[in-house]
Every structure is written in C-alpha cells, then in structure tokens.
Amino acid sequence: MTVRIPGQVEFYIRALAREYGRKRAPQAGSRPSALDELVLTVLSQNTNDRNRDRAWRSLRRQFPRWEQVAKARRQDLVAAIRVGGLAEQKAERIQALLRRIRKSEGRYSLARVCRMPAAEARGYLLSFQGVGEKTAACVILFACGQPAFPVDTHILRVSQRLGLLPAKATAQRAHERLGKLVPPAGMYEFHLNLIAHGRAVCRARKPQCPVCCLKERCRYYQRVKLNS
C-alpha cells in the first residue's frame, strides 16, 4: 500500500527544507561533467562519502586525464582507488565504461548526454553495462541539471516507511514512481534532504521517530504508535 494524498510529497519537501535547509542546484558551469559524475557515482558504490571523495582525489591526482585511466595498468588503478573499497570491481568497471564511451563518442566525454532530453539520456546511459537506474539518474540530475531522482538505500528506506513506495519496490520501480511523484523543481533538494534525514533520524536500525519532522504523515510511525 502506498499513499496518494494530494500535496503529500510537497509537505515532505517543505518539512525537510525547514529541518535541513534549502538546497539550490548548481548552475551550468558549476556542475561536474557527465563523465566525472559517472565515475564518481561508480566510486560511491558500497562506501561512504568520505572514502568516495578520497578515492576520487587519489584517482585524479595519479591520472589527471581519462585517457590515462583507460590505459592504466589494472593494478595501478586499483591502488589509486583502493581507499573507496571494492577497488578491483570498480577499476574494471571504470575502464570498461571508458572504452565504451571512447568507442561510442569518439572521445572520453559524455557532454552529448547533457544535450539530450532526460528520457533519452537515461536510455543511453542504461545501455552501458554496469550503469543502473541510480547511476543514470545521478548523471542526469547532478551533471546535466535535468529532472531525475536518484534513489539510494536511505531514500528507498525513508520512502517505504513514509508510504511513498511499496515495501518490496525494485530499484526500477522506485525510480519510476518517485520520478513521477516528486515535482521536477524539488528533485535536487528533496534528494539531498531525504538522504540527510535517513542518516540522522530515519535510520535503518532504531529510527528516531519521536523527533522526526515527518512523523505525522508517516505510515511507519502511525503503525508504531498504534501498536505501542
């Protein structure tokens, strides 16, 4: 069962903005390139932001150009990103993506993706082996500045507890549904604030329901309150 109350998502956006602050999406020129965002998202998998950023800085320090990354010895690339975890798998994936991009685009660039409509960009990115819904949405939202709503583990958990998603929603279903429910103008801010809320309050274990700013419109909290 999911909620379909008019204005529900807008209520969550406003409440989280009061709690965690407004977030303004960067303008063109201040955003990362699409290829930078793609690789950064690969590095973010199964690790925290701190280790992701350390792996990114190490990668760019040792290999300033994407051509160097593509042609690097695998063990050197693994060593450069080891701090981010799963370095063997990520190194293989990054080099495979770079080879595919070079073949498709004629250069190490995804600039063309940001000139596509969001739906076309999504389809193109998903055609790359190893690129899923979240990665594609991150590139579209953060690099291209177009409407997309990436769903990570925090957003999935909070959305399910609120009642925005079914308990067993797949990644594809979660992206499709939230992409329709969340107003395009609110996607950037809601994405960041939902993650902040999932980390600070709506944790996987022992959620802090009494201090939650969304509790009065939360299906999970209403069930807990009813059973207490």
CATH, residue 130: 1.10.340.30
Among residues of the chain, what percentage have pLDDT more than 70? 97
67 and 18 within one domain: no
**pLDDT > 90? residue 4:** no
Residue 109 lies in a domain: yes
Residues 102 and 63 in one domain: yes
Distance CA 215, CA 151 (A): 21
Q: Is residue 129 part of a domain?
A: yes
Domain assignment present for 188: yes
The verdict on 190 and 214 lying in the same domain is: yes
134 among known catalytic residues: yes
Can you read off the two tokens belonging to residue 7?
């204005």
- Say how far apart CA 66 and CA 109 lie, in whole Å: 9
**Residue 182 is part of a domain; what is its CATH number?**
1.10.1670.10
Give yes or no for a contact between 92 and 100, defined as CB atoms under 8 angstroms apart.
no
| pLDDT 10s digits, 57-114 | 999 999 999 999 999 999 999 999 999 999 999 999 999 999 999 999 999 999 999 9
> How many angstroms separate the Cα of 96 from the Cα of each of 90, 92, 103, 129, 219?
10, 6, 11, 8, 43
Q: Are residues 72 and 93 in the same domain?
A: yes
C-beta separation of 114 from 143 below 8 A = yes
What local confidence, expressed as pLDDT, does residue 227 receive? 75
Task: Report the domain count for the chain.
Answer: 2
56 and 155 together in one domain: no
Q: Which of 71, 103, 134, 225 is catalytic?
A: 134
Radius of gyration of the chain (CA): 19
CB atoms < 10 A from the CB of 133, how many?
Answer: 22
**Which residues, other chains included, contact 17 with Cβ-Cβ below 8 Å and sequence gap of 6+?**
23, 189, 193
State the chain's mean pLDDT as an integer.
95
Q: Which tens digits make up the pLDDT trace of 113-133? A: 999 999 999 999 999 998 999
* Structural domain boundaries enclosing 82: 34-143
Domain boundary among 90, 118, 143: 143
Last residue of a domain, one of 143, 167, 183: 143
pTM above 0.85, yes or no: yes
Q: Of 93, 127, 143, which residue is a domain's last? A: 143
Please indicate, yes or no, whether residues 41 and 112 belong to a single structural domain of this protein.
yes
Residue 29 falls within a domain, yes or no? no
